[in-house]
Amino acid sequence: MTPSHHAPLSLRRSLLLGILLPIVLFVVVDTVSLYRQALGAVNTAYDRTLLASAKAIGELLDIEGDGPQARLRAQVPYSALEAFEADNRSRMSYRISDASGQWVDGAEDLPAWRGTLPNQGPYAALVDFYDDSFRGDPVRVAVLLQPVATRRERTMAMVQVAETLELRRTLARQILIDTLQRQAILITVITAVVLVVVQRVTRPVRRMSSELQQRPEDDLTPLNAAHLPLEIRPLTEATNQVMQRLQHLLDHQKRFVRDAAHQLRTPLAVLKVQVQSALRGDVPPTEALQEIQTTVDRATQLANQMLSLAKVEQVKQQQDFSTMDWAEPLRAVALDVSALIAEKDLDFDIRTEASLVHAHEWMLREMARNLLHNAIRLSPRGGRLSVRLLPQDGMAELHIEDSGPGISDELRLRLFQPFAAGHAHSGSGLGLTITREMVKALGGNITLTNLYEQGLCVGLDACVRLPLHTSPT
């Protein structure tokens, strides 16, 4: 089973999720924090009411009797608590105990306080607040330790005031509902704003996508990035570069097909005429076969060189280069053409020094082969042919010197153009074109210079210069 791949999110969805999710999480945390703060403020306010009621009760306490007969007395009317009751949704009760914890007045069944006073708090009085249960209902209780004194006696009274939680809970629910409503409105507004902004920001991208979909298949013109955001322009520029390379490849392919059709048509037509002439017996069979062989050889050479020219473009695009010693493929090619050199009885000399270049081995071989073939073909029988490779001034220089007729100034202007042969019947005119394309792809240059002795042209120096590299990769 092949692993399932999740479809990538769209740019709009990614922006919405990336913006809204953190905002929603922040709002949720903020809502909880606001609710707790509001609830704390409500409890503090109601606790102050409990404390005020306890203090009001404490002010009504007195001591009855003297000495051992002294007793804490409380005369607390209900009206003392009525002023502190907010409405009929909450009920307040109280209990007064003496210093020993004995009940004195109020609700005797209100559980007695068993806690300790806090070390610090928001209240300066001797007071404590706690949650408890009274008559089956949860209550909030305030405990006040109230000193009671007369001129002869003094004691400590414990005043407990309990309030049911209905009003607090109702107010807490209302605070929560109000907070959630405000935060929901805030999230709705933020979502709407983000949707509008994301829609506007991504509109140029959608427009460009629509334009690309409506383009003809062969339309590789550059994209207009003027209306796109700055963050998208690098992608557009990279796309334009790819389209430019594709356009170059397409143009090269069209040119190759056009040139191939044009150049191969002539030798094929000549071959057909020669075969028809041989069949009619216009020329002797041996002579006819020789003419056919010559035509086939030229057509084969032309086809091979045109394929080489197409391969140059392929290697340029692949950039499959490595650092190597140019001397090795050069000597290998010289060995391959040694039979041609011996056939013309040329005075051949080769001298090489280690020259590291960053290139493709096939390019180095094909480049040397084309230049050596030209030099051998143009050199007279028994002439001189010299090959020298040496590093100089950061460049690897290859010099191939023949003893041919050289080139004229008029021919030099068009010698590197496709199918521009230097001399009649001397070749297809693609060898130097292929060589120049290879040299350009490798970042070098090629020059053709006539050699003179005593004012006479005695040969041609084909010089190729490629950048040196310090170490192999």
Query: DSSP letters along 458-470, please?
Result: EEEEEEEEEEB-S
pLDDT at 428 over 60: no
Per-residue three-class SS string for 314-342: HHHHHCCCEEEECHHHHHHHHHHCHHHHH
Cα–Cα distance for residue pair 286/468, rounded to 1 Å? 52
Dig out the tokens for 38 from the structure.
């509001």
Predicted TM-score (pTM) of the model is: 0.47
| pLDDT tens per residue, range 317-356 | 667 788 999 999 999 999 988 998 999 999 999 999 999 9
pLDDT at 1 over 50: no
Cα–Cα distance for residue pair 451/378, rounded to 1 Å? 14
Sheet containing 395-401: order of strands: 347-352, 384-392, 395-401, 456-467, 445-453
Dig out the tokens for 270 from the structure.
């000549």
Dig out the tokens for 145 from the structure.
């330790």
pLDDT at 59 over 70: yes
Beta bridge partners of 131: 140
Dig out the tokens for 89 from the structure.
């949704």
The pLDDT score that the predictor gives to residue 284 is 84
- CA 233 from chain centre, in angstroms, equals 13
Cα–Cα distance for residue pair 396/468, rounded to 1 Å? 6
pLDDT (average), residues 194-215:
83
Contacts of 201 (CB under 8 A, 6+ apart): 15, 229
Burial class (CB in 10 A: 0-12, 13-18, 19+), 8: exposed
The pLDDT score that the predictor gives to residue 431 is 67
Dig out the tokens for 258 from the structure.
């056009």
Q: How far is CA 154 from CA 60, 102, 127, 148, 159, in A?
A: 15, 16, 19, 6, 16
* DSSP calls for 375-438: HHHHSPTT-EEEEEEEEETTEEEEEEE--S----HHHHTTTTSTT--SSTTS--S-HHHHHHHH
| pLDDT tens per residue, range 110-134 | 888 877 766 555 544 588 888 899 8
Between vectors from CA 170 to CA 165 and to CA 175, what angle results, nearest 5°? 125
Beta bridge partners of 94: 161
Cα–Cα distance for residue pair 109/132, rounded to 1 Å? 12
| pLDDT tens per residue, range 435-453 | 888 888 888 999 888 998 8
